[in-house]
Amino acid sequence: MKIAVLGTGGGARSHIAKLLELGHEVAVGTRDPQATLARTEPDMMGNPPFRQFLAEHPGVTLLTFGEAAATADGPVINGIDGHNAVAALTPIAGALADKTLIDYAVPFVYQHDSEHPWPTPWGVMPKLDPCDTDSLGERIQRALPDTKVVKSFVTQEQATVVDPQSVGDGDHTMFVAGDHADAKRRATELLKSYGWRDVLDLGPLVCARGMEMYAHLHSAIGFGLGQQFGGHFGIKVVR
């Protein structure tokens, strides 16, 4: 399939590498491809410059957000950080029309000071906006009414989303939520190709609230396990 990944951060890179490994054609979207290629320093999260990642992953096409989305005949994965996602996606609504957009962003509020490095230090609870009575997933769906938004991948680090076997032999649970059954089916098929055996459909997109708000408990569990930024664990729904 032709799959588009929007974003060049660590989570996006996990998906790009895995999708290539699975034999898909991958177009990566960024705000300004020339600026992305020009960077020579690690990004805010310490990832190496993206051009180094591209050199190590031949076959990836780097385009603008809209151009990358337009190439997709399979799902588009939104790896744009939660703070910027609605603003970045709204102008490319046309390119995303009728497509399945899988969104894993958590709407962390940026706190750019020494006590609160970006986006939140591990063990200190993030602040979320929206929260409780709305979710980023629902906001994106409202901004893109012709797109089929699926909220998924949210409850784990993307490195374990693309490699579920690396935690507890893969015996844990991934969630999907959305208002379009065919899009959820597509997201579930992608997850199964990643190796997921237990994908639970929570129902309508309103359930994105629970997935995003779980970020607090996820942070706390990582803290409790003594894991620093980038926890390596999953949760299994035992029933």
* 3-state SS class at 219: helix
Could you say which of 177, 187, 190, 191 contacts its own copies (CB under 8 A)? Answer: 177
Whether 75 contacts 99, CB under 8 Å: yes
Q: Closest CB to its own copies among 4 and 187? A: 187
Q: Write the DSSP string, 195-222.
A: T-SEEEEEESGGGHHHHHHHHHHHHHHH
| Cβ at position 7, least distance to its own copies in Å | 24
Q: Which is nearer to its own copies, 33 or 137 (CB)?
A: 137
Residue whose CB is less far from its own copies, 9 or 170: 170
Least Cα distance to 105 among 121, 70, 124, 129 occurs for 129
237 binds its own copies (CB under 8 A): yes
The C-alpha atoms of residue 215 and residue 235 are separated, in whole angstroms, by: 12
Which listed residue (15, 148, 186, 218) binds its own copies by CB under 8 A? 218
Is residue 234 within the footprint of its own copies (CB under 8 A)? yes
Cα-based distances in Å from 226 to 118, 137, 219, 221: 20, 30, 11, 9
Reference 121, options 14, 219, 221; nearest CA is 219
The region of 21-29, 90-98, 117-125, 183-191 touching its own copies under the rule CB under 8 A is 117-125
Binding to its own copies by residue 221, rule CB under 8 A? yes
Is residue 211 close enough to count as binding its own copies by CB under 8 A?
Answer: yes
Report the run of H or E that residue 148 belongs to, with start and end.
strand 148-152
**Token digits of residue 195:** 């190796």
Instruction: State which of residues 38, 94, 182, 232 lies at the interface with its own copies (CB under 8 A).
Output: 232
118 binds its own copies (CB under 8 A): no
Instruction: Tell me if 229 sits within 8 A of 142, measured CB to CB.
Output: no
- The residues of the shown chain that bind its own copies, judged by CB under 8 A, are 123-125, 127-128, 131-133, 155, 167-168, 171-172, 175, 177, 200-203, 206-207, 209-211, 213-214, 216-221, 223-225, 232-239
